[in-house]
Structure 1
Amino acid sequence: MVLTAVLVVIAVALVFDYTNGFHDAANAIATSVSTRALSPRAALLMAAVMNLVGAFLGTEVASTVGSGIIGAPTGISGLVVVLAALIGAIGWNLVTWWFGLPSSSSHALIGGLVGAALASAGTVQWSGVVEKVIVPMVVSPIVGFLLAGAVMIALLWLFRRGRPSRLNRGFRHAQTVSAAAMALGHGLQDAQKTMGVIVLALVVGGYHQGFDVPWWVILLSAGALSAGTYSGGWRIMRTLGRRIIDLDPPRGFAAELTASAVLYTTAFAFAAPISTTQTITASILGVGATKRISAVRWGVAGNIAVAWVLTIPAAAAFAAVAFWVIHPLVG
């Protein structure tokens, strides 16, 4: 019974990872596609490959998700908690994907874990949630916005005497590199969150000790994320690439460069599971504001901000309902 439950949780975790891939594919490639630096299919293929590579670069974020958000539950009830958390995250991912809103799969998973734990009367490590989730959730978009604006201003000054047509061609080539860096950072951050949940399920089921990530968990998580990325997320791609601001190649490059730098820093220096979606969106807003304030479609940005705020409580509510439905069936 326990082994079957563990296998079900792993399977659902990989489904979440797949939805994360197609939901967040736009994070890495929307700017490159919108500026025509890359064709959509070439961009998706590049992003899928770099997501796969990025998943093997570290496991610090996986440890945070697996052991720093909720207290490790036990037995079949514990596995139901993990399963409900995943269902809650998948549900919110699908809702926001349908409406084309670039919400955070990372925060959906965190919200799912919190909601399922509360529904089960389990332990939520609120200090870990605040320190590793809430604070980075607030700080990273601010940093992304300000840093992207500063990078864009620096580029405008450095190339102030360049010919626009020539600069656009050059930055289209540069965007191939910056988009790859962004996709690598997405793989580094987002695949680890699924790894952490799978390891948590193994620990709860008694099939693993500690929160070191086995190689096969890395491989499965990386593969599911990469496959989901290649399937594409066209609704959200249109929002990021066109509806917020009409990007040109220099601004696309600056946004991707900034967002990838923030992703690497938070993963390696702080082991914080930040949102790639929030980071790239804030960076796009930052570079857009250097053009002129009115160039940014702030109404669209406001809708995205509402989705950001709702993600954790909404995913938590989905997960709590999932727990209340599933637990009586297996209890």
Structure 2
Amino acid sequence: MTKVRIGLLFGGRSGEHEVSICSAQAIAKALSTPPNTEKYEVLPIYIQKDGIWQPPDIAHQVLASGTPLEANGEGNLWQFPPQVADVEVWFPILHGPNGEDGTIQGLLTLMQVPCVGSGVLGSAMAMDKIAMKQVFDQVGLAQVKHKGLSRAQVWSNPCVFPKLCDQIEETLGYPCFVKPANLGSSVGIAKVRSRSELETALDSAASYDRRIIVEAGVVAREVECAVLGNDNPKASVVGEISYTSDFYDYETKYTEGRATLSIPAPLPDSVSRQIQEMALQAFAAVDAAGLSRVDFFYVEATGEVLINEVNTLPGFTATSMYPQLWAATGVPFPQLVDQLIELAQERQT
């Protein structure tokens, strides 16, 4: 049987470059596990932090070491390694901007080769927290109160800025969360409890992104559900994240021992079913495909389930929530990777 050549695309130009390498290592290992090794040939392609694409021999070195290459300014940003022409299915595992926001998906679509995960629309919509929440409102998914802002509102008119802060205090109150709309993995997010903290957080978020979202704080348990499929997706068991830090920030998320995953989450069956149903509804609402992790708040005091966000390219290491949720649902890591490739091929036909 002729093996299908999988273009494992990793690295990238976001702040999650190192996480992408870890995810790619786990996927490469899964593709080298029988029976996948009999079906697939891995062609890793590494994107440096400066955007230069590196061929499989260098990509293999990065996967083996787990260490990013230092950008040296050499190479042509618009010249792809010749092995790109041999790829039969792309498996992009690029987290954050320039990876899961529709940009790389558009490029791979132009190559007319199947691609694991969501397309341009689903990726872009799920990446932009303002657009995503507007879609959630449209389909009637309950969520926390929020307000979308632009960098211009924060920076351009000093006279308007105090009124903007007044509005946030009146409609959302404290504590609230200030977030860049288009960054992943809690980058640039701040929890604020006062006017001075709010002003500082808005200024910081505006330095990261043109679009900013402010969300009301809520006392709730943080739970997640994984989705797998295309037109007829399935939802995994529900998992829960617990931690001792003030909120689930970047350091907590990626420092070993800072957070605990409970799979399945100790929830009433009715709540778990509601979360699964809402996860599938959100997946369809943003036009996601292949895979997504959908995050929720469960307000135990009132029984409310509030959707937080859809992540179309979640962390994919062996210890990440997405593959662990599917392992607990009966789909082990190598089989999960195989199914994602088959879903990419199915969607292309």
User: Structures share a fold, TM > 0.5?
Assistant: no
Q: What is the TM-score normalised by the length of structure 2?
A: 0.27
Q: Which has the larger radius of gyration?
A: 2
Answer 1 or 2: which has greater helix percent. 1
Q: What is the TM-score normalised by the length of structure 1?
A: 0.28
Answer 1 or 2: which has greater strand percent. 2
